[in-house]
A and B are shown apart, each in its own frame.
Chain A
Amino acid sequence: MSLLEMRNIVKEFPGVRALDGVSFTLEAGEFHSLVGENGAGKSTLMKVLSGVYPEGTFEGEILVDDSARHFRNIRDSENAGIAIIFQELSLVKELTVGENIFLGKEPSKFGVINWSELYHRASKLLQDLHLQIDPRVKVGSLGIGQQQLVEIAKALSQDAKILVLDEPTAALTESEVETLFGILKDLLAKGVGMIYISHKLDEVFAMSDRITVLRDGKTVSTHDAADIDRNGVIAAMVGREVGDIFPNVTHEHGDVALSIRNLTAYSPDVPDKKLVDNVSFEVRKGEVLGIAGLMGAGRSELLMSIFGAWSGKFSREIEVEGRRVEISSPADAIRSGVGFVTEDRKRFGLILEQTILDNMTIAGLRSISGQIITNRTRESIAANGPMKSLRIKANSTLTVAGTLSGGNQQKVVLGKWLLTNPKVLFLDEPTRGIDVGAKQEIYAEINKLAEQGLAIVLVSSELPEVLGLSDRVIVLHDGKVTGEFTRREATPEKVMAAATGNI
């Protein structure tokens, strides 16, 4: 009998089958790792398990202790003994450690909280975990690592039988990781089953009894950890043909368009933590440089720092077309000829309630429209360029951006940056969340721009995309460059090995 069994889980989103018949089992006292590329379906599977996606929004069965369960919400899954620690912390920073641990389950009578019982129980719980944390201090005053441990204490306050940990070590120092693993081993000995999601294969191999690999929403394989090595896991993670939707062309390269030396960027929250550590690279005219890496490897931070828009500290030397430039703000970057199609178009790219025209001309407004006084006719003519060349589907340039489909919104952001006449164009996750047709059009556009001599730096979590488009790939892991490959050298296995820190 298994502690947990998930049978043939199918979860569909509009246009995407995120989980396609995934089965998964967990035994009492077992440490079972779940690995896969970004977007393989790991987090979706855990959201199904925890009731975030309630019964009825997916197909398949969930059994705990061999009896079928129907979770309508998170509370239901918690009652069944399932506790999840999500990637993003879900603690209330202004409340104390004790208040957070018992949030929503405060010991109380007639709505009046019994504070002494609450703090008594909280300190006992923390002692059991060998944590030296005062339950009466505010969570916000603790370091990120300690907060993560409080989060775990909170999960355990519910007497969880099944503990799900989604990238719990991303923000932890090495000694904190050791503390965490010590706690986890104690719990395993007490019979708690654990599902562990991580990109860090050393951790996975150090702790796991079994490893399950997911890819494209399907279970690839489940192995006893002793029967498989890292290369086997990596092969299973990437094992697919790089599709034909990429126009396989090599570009003529010209002179160096952008050169970056010694780029270091620090976390805005933890001032000493380096998110990008002394990275240097250059990209030539007509070249597509791919930057691969897993989530949290420092890719977006790298681009944001070059662009002068990173909110933490950063330092670097930049040359554009051989000339040294100082970039301390996005305005400087645009002036120097750097364009940046940012990730998350709704948050960073578009003004959703404004028109296509307004959105497209805003970055290059002074050169398109006028230094001080704007000229709508000139703007309209300018916006119609990308509107046609990128084949944006809308009635006119006066359609409101928020009403467009994801693919067309992404094209508007791309158009905005093309209108600044860049020499170098950064693309951060340019096809996230858009359909295959629009993806293909954007791929074709990237190649066309490279042919016209634009230097392109492409960041993407989708490995096939990076491999299919880039002339050269550099791989980041933990803020450092762990690999550089030409188009011919770059195989999914090599890139994934570098991205997981296995060089």
Chain B
Amino acid sequence: MDETTGTKINATALRAYIMIAVLGLIWGYFHWATDYVFMTPRNLSNLMTQMSVTGIIAVGMLMLIVSGNIDLSVGSVLGFAGGIAAFSMTTLEYGLPVSILAALAIGVVIGVFHGTLTAYLNIPAFIVTLGGLLAWRGAVKWLLGGNTIPVSDPTFISIGNANLPPAIGWGLAVVAIAFVLFMAYRKARSVKDYGLGEANYTGELLKAIIPIGGIVAFIGVMNAYNGVPFPVLILLAVALLGAFLTNSTVFGRYLYAIGGNADAARLSGIDNKRNILKVYALLGALTGVASLIFTARVGSAAPDAGVLKELDAIAACVIGGASLMGGRGTIFGACLGALIMASLDNGMSLLNVRDFMQDIIKGSILVAAVGLDMMGRRQG
């Protein structure tokens, strides 16, 4: 029995390699064009922080898209949840824990609401969340009275701006490496435990070299500037959670089944509606998390906070190989997609590309990326 030769696995891996290569090209070009500023620890640290909000939302969005649904309202919900947190801290003086919980709770409640309308009342997801896009934006404006509310609580501000001390960063690296080694050992062991052959410890160890190298390089680069930024740490945690949910849980498998063939999933005993509701709630919670980072980074809640964030998140998923028809997409791809989008933003800003030109270029790249992907698929 050969575990690695499946056409699906190969196609997914191939797409990942191509994307990494594209990212490398983009980085190389910007590094050269910016007189070797782009790939400095300082800029890379900024870049990672910039992608964290979009990345966190993209993780939830990916799972929703995989299930065959969409959420256009996340930008407005982000604004509203951030507004709730700021309003609670400053106007109501409820304190930090309550305010944070309020932002997360509002995200979940809105997610459950949208999920109920979509899954149980059969209103198309596009319509429900298009309505949400308008309505929740209106709610922010109403809540903030059209004004920007500054937030001064230093603990809150640090969510978006603090860095992990380098020593703790390295400590984290050690834990991560130990985990990678443990998983490699477990995988090698399981082959033997299930009587499928001899455990290949050296082989699994060799395969672990790439992730271990990645961990060391990442912490090294981040520590060469100020240490791992908090938002990036949160993004990493969210991405790991998302990867775990999609790859290793019953819930994740159900999402792919529902998106791949809803009828077949239903007849296989899956409660499509409840799972769709759950993924909406999850995306809502992640939007709440993102709203905290966003508000903390800016230092205030504004009526237009998060405008167009939904499109960034959807674009990240799609560039990362997700199909809007459902059933296909990976967390890794979505994060890479978010990183590509953020790299374009960051690089073009360094090059002083005019605002309108940036939008035109990003839009064109989105369409071109999906176009090339479709051509590749058709050729099989």
Which residues from chain A sit less than 8 Å from chain B, CB to CB?
307, 309, 329-331, 333-334, 340, 342, 347-355, 358, 362-363, 365-366, 369-374, 377-378, 380-381, 384, 395-400, 403, 416, 420
B263 touches A362 (CB 8 A): no
B324 interface residue per 8 A CB criterion: no
Partner of B269, one of A342, A363, A369, A396: A363
B194 touches A362 (CB 8 A): no
Distance, CA A399 to CA B6, complexed state (A): 5
Residues B238-294 near A (CB distance < 8 A): 248-254, 256-257, 260-261, 263-271
26 inter-chain pairs at a CB distance below 8 angstroms, sorted by A residue, are A330-B267, A330-B268, A330-B270, A347-B264, A348-B263, A351-B256, A353-B327, A354-B260, A362-B253, A362-B257, A362-B268, A365-B250, A372-B250, A373-B250, A374-B248, A374-B250, A377-B191, A377-B196, A378-B194, A380-B1, A384-B1, A396-B5, A397-B1, A398-B7, A399-B6, A416-B268
Distance, CA A114 to CA B201, complexed state (A): 80
Question: Shortest CB–CB separation between residue A423 and chain B, in angstroms?
Answer: 15
- Of all chain A residues, the one with the shortest Cβ separation from B11 is A400
B268 touches A370 (CB 8 A): no
Distance, CA A358 to CA B250, complexed state (A): 11
Interface centre among B9, B261, B270 (most CB of A within 10 A): B261
Question: Shortest CB–CB separation between residue B133 and chain A, in angstroms?
Answer: 27
A351 touches B261 (CB 8 A): yes
Question: Shortest CB–CB separation between residue B177 and chain A, in angstroms?
Answer: 23
Besides the known contacts A374-B253, A380-B3, A396-B2, 11 further A-B residue pairs in the complex with CB atoms under 8 A apart: A309-B266, A348-B263, A352-B260, A353-B8, A354-B327, A355-B6, A365-B254, A373-B248, A373-B249, A381-B194, A395-B5
B250 touches A329 (CB 8 A): no
B269 touches A334 (CB 8 A): yes
Partner of A351, one of B7, B250, B327: B327
B309 interface residue per 8 A CB criterion: no
Question: Shortest CB–CB separation between residue B324 and chain A, in angstroms?
Answer: 14
A347 touches B263 (CB 8 A): yes
Distance, CA A366 to CA B196, complexed state (A): 22
Distance, CA A342 to CA B268, complexed state (A): 10
Query: A398-B5, A399-B6 are contacts. A330–B264 as well, Cβ < 8 Å?
Result: no
Question: Shortest CB–CB separation between residue B87 and chain A, in angstroms?
Answer: 37
B122 CB contacts on chain A under 8 angstroms:
none
Query: A349-B264, A369-B250, A377-B190 are contacts. A398–B8 as well, Cβ < 8 Å?
Result: yes
Partner of A348, one of B257, B264, B271: B264
- Of all chain A residues, the one with the shortest Cβ separation from B268 is A363
B7 touches A400 (CB 8 A): yes
A351 touches B248 (CB 8 A): no
B9 touches A350 (CB 8 A): no
A365 CB contacts on chain B under 8 angstroms:
250, 253-254
Question: Shortest CB–CB separation between residue B373 and chain A, in angstroms?
Answer: 14
B9 CB contacts on chain A under 8 angstroms:
398
Partner of B328, one of A340, A347, A353, A355: A353
A309 CB contacts on chain B under 8 angstroms:
266-267
Distance, CA A353 to CA B1, complexed state (A): 21
B271 touches A331 (CB 8 A): yes
A362 CB contacts on chain B under 8 angstroms:
253, 257, 265, 268, 270
Partner of B261, one of A329, A352, A384, A396: A352
B8 touches A340 (CB 8 A): no
Question: Shortest CB–CB separation between residue A371 and chain B, in angstroms?
Answer: 7
- Of all chain A residues, the one with the shortest Cβ separation from B260 is A351
The proximity string for B residues 1-43 relative to A, scoring 1 for CB distances below 8 Å and 0 otherwise, is 1110111110000000000000000000000000000000000
Distance, CA A347 to CA B270, complexed state (A): 16
Distance, CA A384 to CA B2, complexed state (A): 12
Question: Shortest CB–CB separation between residue B233 and chain A, in angstroms?
Answer: 24
B257 CB contacts on chain A under 8 angstroms:
351, 354, 358, 362
B264 touches A351 (CB 8 A): yes
A342 CB contacts on chain B under 8 angstroms:
267
Question: Shortest CB–CB separation between residue A344 and chain B, in angstroms?
Answer: 9
A396 touches B6 (CB 8 A): yes
Q: Which 3 A-B pairs have the closest CB atoms?
A: A398-B6, A351-B260, A363-B268
Distance, CA A300 to CA B312, complexed state (A): 45
A372 touches B249 (CB 8 A): yes
B8 CB contacts on chain A under 8 angstroms:
353-355, 398, 400
B260 touches A330 (CB 8 A): no
A347 CB contacts on chain B under 8 angstroms:
261, 263-264
A396 CB contacts on chain B under 8 angstroms:
1-2, 5-6
B249 touches A374 (CB 8 A): yes
